[in-house]
Amino acid sequence: MKKLNRRKFLASISGLVAANLTGLVKASNIAWSLTPTETEGPFYPLRAQKDKDLDLTRIKGESGRASGRVIVIELVVRDQSGKGLENVQVDLWQANAAGRYRHSQDKNKSPLDPFFQGWAIVSSDKDGKIQFKTVFPGVYPASNTWNRPPHIHFKISKPSYGAITTQMYFPSHPLNEKDLLLQRKTTKEKKLMISTVDKEDPDKFYYNVVLQKDG
């Protein structure tokens, strides 16, 4: 009787293992959703600058640090299988902590920050990862009746993949629900465009970008 029970027990365990492995295989075949595109906006940097590295809080040759809350963004660029893509070029730019872009067309009266880099052009590592330091972008007026929530712009490109331009938002910001651009998106698209915050570090955010392979 004991031997029979043991056989049944082993058979049930084998069945559970097989079911779990099947589930893992199926999960690995699930396509990741493509990142929604968004307008480039009017403030893409035009003025040449030498410093375009991963630390936007400082400018090489300057002794000061950018004003505002320092945050870290961990961006991973993937294909639709979820695999990280190496050597993806990522062009990113944003407003400073006061909501001002370093751009001649930005009429916002908030001050410029002489120590804020504001723009970077970087590449992903072998795992598709880019980790950069910046400041939490400020709210800025897009019009007399529309204030844009904090966001970061990305242009992302890799040979043999479709290039995209998009914007990343921050979780739980009250202006997300009023933003004219974000509210044009579906519920699923909004979720894909809003970063997630680290459970232990409120100043670290994660964001996935998924590209489509050409052809």
Catalytically active residues, by annotation:
101, 140, 148, 151, 153
CA dist 111 and 29 (Å) reads: 49
Cross-sheet strand order for the sheet of 89-93: 119-123, 89-93, 151-157, 164-169
CA dist 163 and 119 (Å) reads: 19
Q: Measuring CA to CA, which residue among 147, 80, 76, 84 is closest to residue 110?
A: 147
Are the C-beta atoms of residues 128 and 77 closer than 8 Å to each other? Answer: yes
The DSSP code for 184 is G
41, two tokens: 């906006």
Residue 149 CB partners (closer than 8 Å, separation 6+): 139, 169, 170, 173, 174, 175, 176, 178, 179, 182
CA dist 110 and 148 (Å) reads: 14
First to last CA, the chain: 61
Residue 157 CB partners (closer than 8 Å, separation 6+): 88, 89, 163, 164
